[in-house]
């Protein structure tokens, strides 16, 4: 694997392989000194043209735990603000000697474009509405671990609720969850569903209350107000009333059901309970697993033959 741009190109075997590699990274992260020399001498550049808390810091942590050198490119203080193009930015940084670019961009397809301007590996850290492959991997890993599903997701029912239309997480997760065998239901008002949703391998519902007591995983999405150009819901209060996780709905979840959210959360909108009070909340486990999954991805792309047993 040279690049990770799109979760949809990975086979179920590829997904299982990356999750097995993540098991090793979890073990590394539990050591007193959570660091291995696997990527010593490699340089990873985090190039984020959109804001991020979780993805940026976890790629940074992941690369350092594998002993890579890390450059965090600060777009706001760079020559991008003087009109430098994405191509010139990539070619300039590549000329310094780079092994991997981790790219987040508001335009769908930007990480794919980057692969044409560098010999380095490229990881898509979220592009527009399109893809967020490492989020899908960490979500699969979290479900695999917490529902003890090491061999696959056959028989699992996962509901993804909310702003599907603008969500790269929904697109990536539907592909990964269904590839592993889960049944996925998208739950949203018609205005927040994507065009041609009937071609997706899912069922669609507009009625969260009829489903909530049946699902194994309730995956809530953020209302992406920054990507909405029209008024797609009458009001956030009405949205919460129909699709938010309220205390009444939380009380109807099955005892083993997981509640997941990629973050950042809109508290009081889609997450109308305190997730720290939900026994099944995976919100912080997802963040923890994000570091190990991103270590696995960087190791897979850059670390062939390196040793994970030795501490740095
Ligand atoms: N889930 C996710 O991509 O979060 P950030 O935007 O904080 O990276």
Q: What is the 3-state secondary structure (H, E, C) of the chain?
A: CCCECCHHHCCHHHHHHHHHHHHHHHHHHCCCCCCCCCCCCCEEEEEECCCCCHHHHHHHHHHHHCCCEEEEECHHHCHHHHCCCHHHHHHHHHCCCCCEEEEEECCCCHHHHHHCCCCCEEEEEEECCCECHHHHHHHHHHHHHHCCCCCCCCCCEEEEECCCCCCHHHHHHHHHHHHCCCEEEEECCHHHCCCCHHHCCCEEECCHHHHCCCCCEEEECCCCHHHCCCCCCCCHHHHHHHHCECHHHHCCCCCCCEEECCCCCCECCCECCCHHHCCCECHHHHHHHHHHHHHHHHHHHHCCCCCCCCCC
Q: Is 286 in the pocket of ligand 1 (CB under 6 A)?
A: no
- What is the model's pLDDT at position 230? 66
Q: How far is the CA of 310 from the centre of ligand 1 (A)?
A: 31
CATH of the domain at 79: 3.40.50.1370
In the chain, the percentage of residues whose pLDDT exceeds 90 is 88
Answer whether 206 contacts ligand 1 (Cβ < 6 A): no
The pLDDT score that the predictor gives to residue 229 is 57
Residue 270 lies in a domain: yes
Of the pLDDT bands very low, low, confident and very high (cuts 50, 70, 90), residue 8 is very high
Q: Which of 42, 65, 104, 144 is catalytic?
A: 104
- Domain identity same for 95 and 172: no
What are the tens digits of pLDDT across the range 48-66?
999 999 999 999 999 999 9
Q: Is residue 2 part of a domain?
A: no
Q: 268 pLDDT exceeds 70? A: yes
**pLDDT (tens digit, 9 = 90+) per residue, 133-157?**
999 999 999 999 999 999 999 999 9
The answer, yes or no, to whether residue 18 has pLDDT greater than 90, is: yes
Q: Is residue 304 part of a domain?
A: yes
Please report whether residue 263 resides in a domain.
yes
- Looking at the structure, tell me whether residues 137 and 268 fall in a common domain: yes
73 vs 295, which has greater pLDDT?
Answer: 295
Does 67 contact ligand 1 (Cβ within 6 A)?
no
- Looking at the fold, whether 62 and 79 belong to one and the same domain comes out as yes
**pLDDT, tens only, 65-120:** 999 999 998 888 888 888 999 999 999 999 999 999 999 999 999 999 999 999 99
Catalytic residue among 22, 43, 55, 134: 55
The domain tally of the chain equals: 2
| Span 208-262, pLDDT tens digits | 999 999 999 999 999 877 666 567 888 889 999 999 999 999 999 999 999 999 9
224 with 95, same domain? no
Domain residues for the domain of 73 are: 7-131+287-311
Tell me, what's the pLDDT at 228? Answer: 64
Q: Is 82 one of the annotated active-site residues of the chain?
A: yes
The pLDDT mean for the chain works out to: 95
pLDDT at res. 235: 86
Same domain, 291 and 172: no
pTM: 0.96
Both 251 and 208 in one domain: the answer is yes
């Amino acid at each position: 694997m040279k690049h990770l741009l799109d979760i949809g190109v990975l086979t179920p075997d590829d997904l299982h392989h990356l999750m097995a590699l993540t098991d090793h990274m979890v073990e590394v992260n539990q050591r007193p000194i959570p660091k291995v020399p696997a990527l010593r001498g490699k340089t990873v550049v985090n190039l984020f043209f959109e804001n991020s808390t979780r993805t940026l810091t976890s790629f940074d942590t992941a690369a350092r735990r594998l002993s890579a050198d890390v450059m965090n490119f600060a777009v706001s203080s760079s020559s991008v603000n003087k009109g430098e193009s994405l191509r010139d930015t990539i070619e300039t940084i590549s000329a310094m000697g780079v092994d991997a670019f981790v790219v987040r961009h508001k335009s769908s397809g930007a990480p794919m474009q980057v692969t044409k301007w560098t010999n380095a590996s490229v990881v898509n850290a979220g592009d527009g509405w399109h893809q967020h492959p490492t989020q899908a991997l960490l979500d699969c890993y979290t479900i695999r671990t917490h529902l003890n599903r090491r061999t696959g997701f056959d028989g699992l029912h996962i509901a993804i609720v909310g702003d599907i239309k603008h969500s790269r997480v929904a697109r990536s997760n539907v592909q990964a969850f269904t590839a592993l065998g889960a049944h996925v239901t998208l739950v949203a008002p018609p205005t927040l569903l994507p065009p041609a949703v009937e071609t997706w391998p899912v069922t669609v519902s507009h009625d969260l209350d009829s489903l909530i007591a049946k699902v194994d995983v309730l995956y809530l999405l953020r209302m992406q107000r920054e990507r909405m150009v029209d008024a797609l819901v009458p009001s956030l209060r009405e949205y919460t009333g129909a699709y938010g996780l309220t205390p009444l709905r939380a009380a109807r979840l099955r005892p083993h059901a997981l509640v997941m959210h990629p973050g950042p959360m809109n508290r009081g909108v889609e997450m109308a309970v305190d997730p720290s009070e939900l026994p099944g909340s995976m919100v912080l486990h997802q963040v923890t697993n994000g570091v190990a999954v991103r270590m696995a991805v960087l190791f897979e792309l850059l670390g062939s033959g390196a040793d994970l047993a030795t501490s740095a």
